[in-house]
Structures are given as C-alpha cells and as structure tokens.
C-alpha cells in the first residue's frame, strides 16, 4: 500500500463560510511526484489529536500560504502583520504538529511557510519583512505577473558543500522559485542550513540527527513538480522515507 501523507491546511473564509484550504499543487505533488496518498490535516488547534494523527500517517507536508506566522511565536512585532494576514488556527496546529513529527521520526517536508514554521517550531526566529532589510533582496512575488509566471525561477541558491541537498541533487547551486515576505532570521539550534540566497538568507534546512527525514525549503518544488528533475528528486527522497515509515508501521501492527 502507498504511504499516507498529511498535508497541512489553512483556515480561511470562502464565500463567507469558514473553510479548510490547500492548494491543488501540494495535493498533486504528493499523489503524483511522491506517489503517496494525500490526506488533509485541518487547522483545528487543540481540537486536533496530534499523537493519534501521527500514529496513522507516514509523512507530513507542511505547505506554503499567503498568511504569515504570528509574530508572538518568535518574539516579533505583533503590531505588524503581512498584507495577507495571519492564521492563528494554523499556527496552533502546525507548530506543535511539526515538533511532534520531528520528535517521533515522522518524515517531514516543509515548503515556504512550512519552512518558516519548522524553524519557529524548533525555537528559531523570523524576519517579518525581508524586503525592509538593507542587506537583503526583495523576495516578494511580482503581483503584476500572471499567477503561473510568478512561479518561474527568480534567483539562485547556493547549496552547502556535501550537505543534504548538494548530495541529493549532485550540484552546487540551482535556480529556484522562491516567493515570500518572511524568512529565517535566527536558525533553530536543531536545524542545519542547506542553501542560501545570494543575500545570505537561508533557503533550505534539515534537522540535524533527526530520527526521520526532516527537510525544509523556502522555494516551491511542488509547482509542476513532475516537470522539474530537482523537484522530482526531492519528492522521491521524501517518498522513500515515507515508504520506510509505512513499512515500520505495518510491521508494528502485525499486518505483514
């Protein structure tokens, strides 16, 4: 049986109705590029039984989002927020979910907001507005472009020599579609940086000595994932870890 991967959802209001939302590209990347079974993890905060959920999942995909992580989780300026607002229900769900997944060894792939969430969940901090920093480039998407064109590569990242991504992709740098307001400031002590933009901003990490796969990227490998060999390699590595987790779960349950 294919591994089951939980995909984090955002709490949004759609046509006046409280809703749980996930972009199709994240669901499709898990189903097609990773060849796993996607299930949505709703932003329910304390109402979600995280330990029971993780017992039933073989991996977690922490998705990107227009919303920002609330500054109170990393000592930021709570009087300001990103233009697209905040999602406290998602924070209350994903931050403890990621901490628990890393601790339990459930494979994690964190993208964009998920990349930032993993750092905050493990004790790191964020730059709230990267473009306002004098030594950083403007990493925001160009809203004048059609949505599809915004996801074309926009800058280079340099991979840590002999790091996880450099070893996986067998290269020293690559072009990425990195689009965001916030970014990693102080790196969590459990994380190791795997890639940087030219301005020094951390664009990828992995959890040092993690009991399972735990990787984050600031860019969007889920966008047309099956058409990009670097994205395919990343999702296949994640899927391999999820397959191992699934085999271990079956063995423990006595179903093999």
> CB 248: neighbour CB atoms within 10 A?
13
> CB 18: neighbour CB atoms within 10 A?
9
> CB 161: neighbour CB atoms within 10 A?
8
| Integer Cα distance of 224 and 203 in angstroms | 19
Which residue reads 């304390």 in tokens? 46
* CATH number for the domain harbouring residue 61: 3.40.50.880
Residue 144 CA to chain centroid, in angstroms? Answer: 25
pLDDT value at 252 more than 80? no
Quick one: pLDDT at residue 148?
82
Residue 10 CA to chain centroid, in angstroms? Answer: 13
| Integer Cα distance of 113 and 65 in angstroms | 6
List of E strands, 66-178: 108-111, 126-127, 155-159, 173-176
Share of the chain above pLDDT 70, in %: 97
Ranking 52-61, 81-90, 141-150, 207-216 by mean pLDDT, the lowest is 81-90
> Which sequence positions are flagged as catalytic?
112, 220, 222
Asked whether 121 and 99 are in contact (CB, 8 A), the reply is: yes
> CB 41: neighbour CB atoms within 10 A?
24
The 10s digit of each residue's pLDDT in 99-150 is: 999 999 999 999 999 999 999 999 999 999 898 888 999 888 888 888 888 8
| Integer Cα distance of 253 and 251 in angstroms | 5
List of E strands, 80-119: 108-111
Quick one: pLDDT at residue 235?
98
Query: Which tokens in the block code for residue 220?
Result: 């969007």
Side by side, the strands of the sheet bearing 214-217 are: 37-41, 4-8, 59-62, 108-111, 214-217, 202-207, 191-197, 155-159, 173-176
Asked whether 98 and 120 are in contact (CB, 8 A), the reply is: no
User: Is residue 106 packed enough to be buried (19+ CB in 10 Å), middle (13-18) or exposed (0-12)?
Assistant: buried
* ∠ CA 6-53-65, rounded to 5°: 35
| Integer Cα distance of 11 and 86 in angstroms | 10
The 10s digit of each residue's pLDDT in 137-196 is: 988 888 888 888 889 999 999 999 999 999 999 999 999 999 998 999 999 999 999 999
Quick one: pLDDT at residue 113?
97
pTM here is 0.95
Quick one: pLDDT at residue 147?
81
For the chain, the domain total comes to: 1
Asked whether 64 and 22 are in contact (CB, 8 A), the reply is: no
User: Is residue 254 packed enough to be buried (19+ CB in 10 Å), middle (13-18) or exposed (0-12)?
Assistant: exposed
The 10s digit of each residue's pLDDT in 39-79 is: 999 999 999 999 999 999 999 999 999 899 999 999 988 87
Domain that holds residue 62: 4-254
């Amino acid at each position: 049986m294919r591994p089951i991967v939980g995909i984090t959802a955002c709490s949004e209001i759609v046509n006046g109705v409280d809703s749980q939302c996930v972009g199709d590209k994240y669901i499709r990347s898990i189903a097609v590029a990773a060849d796993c079974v996607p299930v949505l993890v709703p932003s329910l905060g304390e109402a979600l039984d995280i330990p029971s959920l993780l017992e039933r999942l073989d991996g977690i995909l922490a998705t990107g989002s227009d919303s920002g992580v609330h500054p109170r989780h990393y000592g930021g300026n709570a009087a300001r927020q990103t233009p697209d607002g905040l999602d406290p229900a998602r924070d209350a769900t994903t931050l403890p979910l990621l901490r628990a997944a890393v601790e339990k060894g459930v494979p994690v792939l964190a993208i964009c907001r998920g990349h930032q969430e993993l750092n905050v969940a493990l004790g790191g901090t964020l730059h709230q507005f990267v473009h306002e920093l004098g030594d950083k480039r403007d990493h925001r998407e160009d809203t004048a472009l059609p949505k599809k064109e915004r996801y074309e590569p926009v800058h280079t990242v340099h991979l840590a020599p002999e790091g996880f991504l450099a070893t996986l992709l067998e290269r020293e740098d690559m072009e990425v579609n990195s689009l965001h307001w916030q970014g990693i400031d102080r790196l969590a002590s459990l994380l190791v940086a795997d890639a940087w933009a030219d301005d020094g901003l951390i664009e990828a990490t992995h959890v040092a000595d993690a009991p399972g796969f735990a990787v984050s990227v600031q860019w969007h490998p889920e966008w047309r994932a099956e058409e990009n060999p670097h994205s395919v390699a990343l999702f296949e590595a994640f899927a391999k870890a999820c397959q191992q987790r699934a085999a271990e779960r079956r063995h423990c349950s006595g179903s093999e």
